[in-house]
Chain A
């Protein structure tokens, strides 16, 4: 069958029943009650939830072959919880697990790949699989396809029963022996634990793993004791140098600066750029530069924003401290400055990822967003976005909240250069479709700004940008420009084996990734 973005899909992939993407807002689910594995439980007889080792906690949770385990990715590449827990599980001889972290970050020593190769893990569901594991998966490492979901779709999947978590192992930079936990304080603070809430609320058993046991009660409390079964203290839960050392420096790349400046030209030209507007810019090089230019432009215009949303870098905290943003809602903190700000600044708040992005909640914060700035690997002439696979079909990134932001924000702006090295970024057809073009309003490149004629704000934007003398180009011309610089790449050949399923935020399948033919 063919879905609404023209992708050919099978009816079933192993045991996975494919619900094709029908278009935004077209999913036909009659929404049944929320499903949860959480059970009522009495207070521990021993008076404490603290167990001596991870092995003890795994046994106490009753983890068995074939169950589903989950983790959050708030420690990013500095995560030291996943490796220790998987090693302990392997030591107990438990196999065939479904590994369902909020994202698979590129952890090394041990790498997740080892646990796939030895059969500890046989299924993966996450928002992205980078690095070594991603390369291995796309070369056909796993028998079962990896299921990739954008951030907004993970709480949806958990609460709908698509992803039932047996045991959640949640790293925390501070916790007490009764299970109250946070990422905001301690030597290895990661800031917001936004991706841990849905797991804590819905897993069958919840284990807090911390390297910083504090006196009862821990304060602040992110994850509450009422959801927590066990607490384990390990020597180290995170590597602060890799969690996000300091503020990212501003790029000096003139092309990226030009794209960032032009993006802010687009925002400032829009009639939605007014007192109390809201935005999300993200953490890439172009995004950080955008944030800084936006701050200048707001100062000139004499306006302030009501809120900034999503994964938060230091650049946004700077704006908060200057009084330019009233509330900073952090589903994740991208660096040490942002991590500390939640404790230091009353308007910088930790939010549950479901509050950030779940379209099947009673309204998520993305719904209130005016401008969303997104990065991409490829955009095609239908404005579809690829944020997963690189020029040779390799796994390059994760879905993150990109598809959610594009749909939720009034005006979604994709920023990218026309070519990267010899790889064209504006192409006739993206290799992997992650975000449907109908949700993308603007593409900003160094060669000009292209508006999507099918977007709901097209007429309004065209009028505003024309009035502000922003140079508009046709997306077809950008595509042709890219081709004229680098030539036409040979199409990537794939086998019939599906290695990954790409779900849209409503749980339908927007694309699949097939094994690359070598």
Chain B
């Protein structure tokens, strides 16, 4: 099921080891990622790849994403991005899908 980003939504915090993810509608612009991170040099590419993967899993092509990362590990980034997408699209998360 492809979701639509209808509104701006946020997930996460600015605490250490967390990431604050803001998702905004960006019709026709593709996926635009703005990343700030204290591990940008060492993990920047991996963080971007994770964000792209989560958006692709939801079938979303267009969105603007802002991440303020304080050293979150991969599963945390994934969860925060998923939550932000669900909030921005107004859809609930498909928990059954996680088990596959």
Contacts and interface: CB of A to CB of B under 8 A. Distances in A.
Interface string B34-78: 000011111111100000000000000000000000111110000
Interface stretch (A180-188, A286-294, A346-354, A417-425): A417-425
Interface string A152-193: 000000000000000000000000000000000000000000
Interface string B1-32: 00000000000000011000000000000000
A288 B16 CA distance: 22
A58 to B, nearest CB: 41
B41 A486 contact: no
A365 to B, nearest CB: 37
Nearest to A486: B73
Contacts of A420: 71
B70 A392 contact: no
A39 interface: no
B42 A492 contact: yes
Contacts of B40: 392
B73 A485 contact: yes
Nearest to A517: B41
A145 interface: no
Most buried by A among B43, B45, B46: B43
Given A392-B39, A422-B72, A423-B39, 11 more contacts: A391-B38, A391-B41, A392-B38, A393-B41, A422-B17, A422-B71, A423-B71, A485-B73, A487-B46, A489-B43, A490-B46
A490 B71 contact: no
B41 A422 contact: no
B43 A421 contact: no
B42 A421 contact: no
Interface in A473-506: 485-487, 489-490, 492
Contacts of A486: 43, 73-74
A280 to B, nearest CB: 29
A391 B39 contact: yes
Nearest to A493: B41
B16 A422 contact: no
Interface in A412-441: 420-423
Contact of A490 (B17, B41, B70, B72): B41
Nearest to B46: A487
Interface in A455-489: 485-487, 489
B25 to A, nearest CB: 29
Interface in A46-96: none
Which 9 A-B residue pairings sit nearest by Cβ, starting from the closest?
A: A421-B71, A489-B42, A392-B41, A422-B71, A422-B39, A421-B17, A490-B42, A486-B73, A422-B73
Contacts, number: 48
B74 A490 contact: no
A475 B73 CA distance: 22
A490 B43 contact: yes
Contact of A421 (B38, B41, B44, B45): B38
B84 to A, nearest CB: 19
B82 to A, nearest CB: 19
Nearest to B39: A422
Nearest to A491: B42
Contacts of A516: 41
A423 B73 CA distance: 9
Nearest to B76: A422
Contacts of A489: 39, 42-43
Contacts of B74: 486-487
Interface in A373-411: 391-393
A149 B85 CA distance: 51
B96 to A, nearest CB: 27
Nearest to B38: A421
Nearest to B69: A422
A135 B38 CA distance: 14
Centre residue among A391, A422, A492 by max chain B CB count within 10 A: A422
Interface centre among A392, A420, A492 (most CB of B within 10 A): A392
23 contacts: A391-B42, A392-B41, A393-B41, A421-B17, A421-B38, A421-B39, A421-B70, A421-B71, A421-B72, A422-B43, A422-B72, A423-B39, A423-B71, A485-B73, A487-B43, A487-B46, A487-B73, A487-B74, A489-B39, A489-B42, A490-B41, A490-B45, A492-B41
B92 to A, nearest CB: 29
B34 to A, nearest CB: 18
A516 B40 CA distance: 13
A224 to B, nearest CB: 48
Nearest to B71: A421
Contacts of B42: 391-392, 422-423, 489-490, 492
A393 B38 CA distance: 12
A179 B92 CA distance: 76
Nearest to B41: A392
Nearest to B19: A422
A486 B43 CA distance: 9
Nearest to A490: B42
Contacts of B41: 391-393, 490, 492, 516
A421 B46 contact: no
A393 B45 CA distance: 17
A490 B17 CA distance: 19
A496 to B, nearest CB: 18
A423 B72 CA distance: 10
B47 to A, nearest CB: 9
Nearest to B16: A421
Contacts of B71: 420-423
Contacts of A423: 39, 42, 71
A190 to B, nearest CB: 32
